[in-house]
A = this chain, B = another copy of it.
Amino acid sequence: MRATLLYQAGDVRVEDVADPKIQQPTDALVRIVVGCVCGSDLWPYKSAPYAEHPRQMGHEFIGVVEETGPEVRNVKPGDLVVAPFTYADNTCEYCRRGLHTSCVHGGQWGVNGVDGGQGEATRVPYADGTLVKLPVAEDSDLLPDLLTLSDVMCTGYHAALTAGVKPAESVTVIGDGAVGLCAVIASKLLGAERIVLMGRHTARTDLGREFGATDVVAGRGQDGVEAVKELTGGFGTDRVLECVGLKDALVQSIAVVTHGGTISRVGAPQYPEVPFGFMEFLRNLTLTGGVAPARAYIEKLMPYILTGEIHPGRVFDRTVPLAEVAEAYRLMNDREALKVIVRP
């Protein structure tokens, strides 16, 4: 089958790889219908050294079950399913706590004999735990919305939920990428009254306003901080959702959150230490968040999509065939596209 391989920074190729096969009785084989490129795929795209055995890319997909191992009970051939961005057994101590990213049997797509999501098919470990059946057909217009349940919508929701966003509160969302925009949707779902979106790309922040942002702050650094302070009577917002992953964004988060407030970070941290010293202690700031256990949220968020209450699939502004996946990476890396669907 054809799959996406990253050889090194800037070098994405579609090549033949071995067809996936059932290896464990809990496996399923899934033919991928739609996949996409993630902001986190851009970190290795920017910086990875040359790999002789390149990694299969992609960790978000919707597909059709083609075959199941003898112990798989919850899905069957022909089912349309969505997968979270890590697989999980959904039964271990961590999964029972809703922390599927820490599953004792869990793992990542694209490594250790498991295929990636930017290809024609994949073996799915722990299919009963990992896959969630979708109640639509494979040609449904809702597929882009449902595809966001693999990652970005669940990640935005994780940010808002762990931050403790409650009705009537104020929230700052830092970052106007797909996760930041989904964090706006999630903040609105949880009842936030004021949602300040910090971002500089007008097309994206305009979409953010449609998603529920009440204010947009394009300024960065001290200008941005002062703008948020001015909007909030000098206090800053109750919650800050940090959807970037850079230290500057975290420093900004600390500056715009109120005393006693919470910062949730869902952008993978590109820094080893956090400036949470004596001043942050005096202000009683909380730092939470982390890699989103998407699997824990898929069933919860799906109804909002099926009823049309939310449309997170609007973060996709391009679609490319699998053969042109390298162009999808380029478009996103050059910020010409927000998020790109890849169709095998």
Interface positions of A (Cβ within 8 A of B): 93-94, 97, 99, 101-102, 162, 235, 259-260, 262, 265, 268-269, 271-278, 280-291, 293
Q: Are B265 and A281 in contact (CB under 8 A)?
A: yes
| A295 and B290 alpha carbons, distance in the complex (Å) | 32
Please give the distance in Å from A284's CB to the nearest CB on chain B.
Answer: 3
- Measured between beta carbons, the chain B residues less than 8 angstroms from A287 are 274, 276, 286-288
The 3 closest A-B pairs by CB, nearest first: A284-B290, A102-B259, A272-B277
Query: What separation, in Å, do the CA atoms of A291 and B262 have in the docked complex?
Result: 15
Could you pull out 5 A-B pairs where Cβ atoms are within 8 angstroms? A94-B260, A162-B286, A272-B278, A284-B293, A286-B288
User: Is B276 in contact with A281, judged by CB distance below 8 angstroms?
Assistant: no
Chain B residues within an 8 Å CB radius of A269: 276-278, 281
B residues near A283, Cβ cutoff 8 Å: 102, 290
Chain B residues with CB below 8 A from A288, complex form = 262, 286-288
A89 to chain B, nearest CB (A): 15
Please indicate the chain B residues that have their CB under 8 angstroms from the CB of A101 in the complex: 282, 284
Contacts of A268 on B, CB cut-off 8 Å? 278, 281
Report B-chain residues with C-beta under 8 Å of the C-beta of A282.
101-102, 290-291
